[in-house]
């Protein structure tokens, strides 16, 4: 009897949160495998980023007591907790990894909390017909089905980072076209590396000049196959980029991004500009294509992730070149 009362008390307080989290996980799995069932779109959609967390935020309100609905803290807190439990379930089941969680957490929490505040108000006003609001559970299926049948705009984005190096272009050039193995002590890893962005290891080049094949190697086994398209010694080198097919053993984030078809890396380029006084400005630019329902949000994270990666790589090259320049003048 005591256990039954404890369970009822627990379910009264957190039942809506658990239902919302499990509902979110079920829809997440359905969207990841939608092409085998009914195509309701994938993870690069407004449905996943906005509609799903909105419905998750509404669910606790549909089963809430009058006392809970009167509380602004519950109406905002229960949806946020639902998202937290959902993310935890995704992480534990390896449906998402840490980097995926980082990317989706903000829009999920915001959308869920807005839904909780709005739905809580509506439920209090429609006390006798609350059951009709359960139709909101079908919303992700409806919006996903419609979205999957609309062609998305394709955008092309370029992210550039630069560093001023106390070395000549002639000293920098060899460290750009080929990159010797980067030791752990050389690379300043950051939070995004800890979350799942692989750090570069080394890059090889089989022949100088246009058509030369450059291969970049990363810590988790990923490789970038690059073909030289422009070759101006000590001034600029450009590469077209091909990423080999990703296997099932790679990180969840890499499968989402590299294997989604929504993101395609196009090219990269290093540009060297002499500044005088023995200094050179080295610029690294990467261009990619993005085609999804959430291009603006994808553009934001593209800027964050690529800029962080390029900054850290340029820092390694700068240290190596300055060290070599110092030795050459001694």
Per-residue pLDDT tens digits for 152-187: 888 999 999 999 999 999 999 999 999 999 999 999
Q: Do the beta carbons of residue 21 and residue 56 sit within 8 Å? A: yes
What are the start-end ranges of the H helices in the chain?
2-32, 46, 52-62, 66-70, 72-92, 98-125, 139-147, 169-177, 191-195, 252-258, 295-329
- pTM for the model stands at 0.86
Q: Do the beta carbons of residue 321 and residue 274 sit within 8 Å? A: no
Cα 242 from chain centroid? 20
Q: How many CA atoms lie within 13 A of 177 on its CB side?
A: 25
Take residue 32 and report the two structure tokens written for it: 């990841």
Domains recognised in the chain with CATH numbers: 2-147 (no CATH), 154-329 (3.30.530.20)
CB atoms within 10 A of CB 229: 14
Nearest Cα residue to 13 out of 58, 77, 56, 72: 77
pLDDT at 36: 46
Please state, in angstroms and rounded to a whole number, the distance separating the CA atoms of residues 148 and 145: 5
Q: How many CA atoms lie within 13 A of 191 on its CB side?
A: 2
pLDDT tens for 92-151 read 988 888 888 888 899 999 999 999 999 998 888 886 666 677 888 889 888 887 877 777
Q: 77 in helix, strand or coil? A: helix
């Amino acid at each position: 009897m005591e256990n039954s009362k404890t369970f009822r008390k627990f379910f009264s307080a957190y039942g809506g949160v658990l239902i919302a989290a499990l509902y979110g996980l079920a829809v997440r799995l359905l969207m990841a495998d939608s092409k085998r069932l009914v195509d309701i779109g994938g993870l690069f959609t407004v449905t996943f980023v906005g509609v799903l967390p909105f419905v998750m935020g509404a669910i606790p309100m549909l089963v809430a007591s009058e006392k809970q609905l009167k509380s602004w803290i519950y109406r905002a807190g229960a949806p946020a907790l639902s998202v937290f439990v959902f993310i935890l379930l995704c992480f534990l089941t390896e449906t998402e990894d840490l980097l995926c969680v980082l990317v989706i957490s903000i829009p999920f929490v915001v959308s869920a909390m807005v839904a909780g505040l709005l739905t809580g108000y509506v439920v209090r006003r429609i006390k006798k017909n609350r059951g009709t609001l359960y139709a909101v559970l079908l919303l992700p299926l409806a919006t996903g089905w419609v979205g999957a049948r609309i062609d998305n705009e394709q955008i092309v984005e370029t992210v550039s980072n630069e560093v001023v190096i106390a070395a000549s272009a002639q000293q920098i050039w060899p460290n750009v076209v080929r990159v010797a193995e980067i030791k752990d002590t050389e690379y300043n890893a950051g939070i995004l590396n800890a979350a799942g962005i692989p750090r570069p290891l080394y890059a090889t080049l089989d022949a100088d000049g246009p058509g030369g094949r450059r291969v970049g190697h990363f810590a988790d086994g990923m490789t970038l196959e690059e073909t030289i398209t422009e070759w101006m010694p000590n001034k600029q080198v450009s590469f077209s980029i091909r990423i080999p097919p990703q296997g099932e053993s790679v990180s969840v984030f890499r499968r989402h991004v590299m294997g989604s078809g929504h993101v395609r890396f196009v090219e990269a380029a290093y540009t060297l500009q002499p500044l005088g006084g023995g200094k050179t400005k080295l610029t690294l630019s990467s261009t990619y294509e993005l085609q999804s329902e959430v291009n603006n949000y994808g553009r934001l994270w593209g800027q964050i992730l690529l800029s962080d990666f390029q900054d850290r790589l340029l820092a390694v090259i700068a240290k190596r070149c300055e060290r070599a320049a110092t030795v050459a003048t001694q």
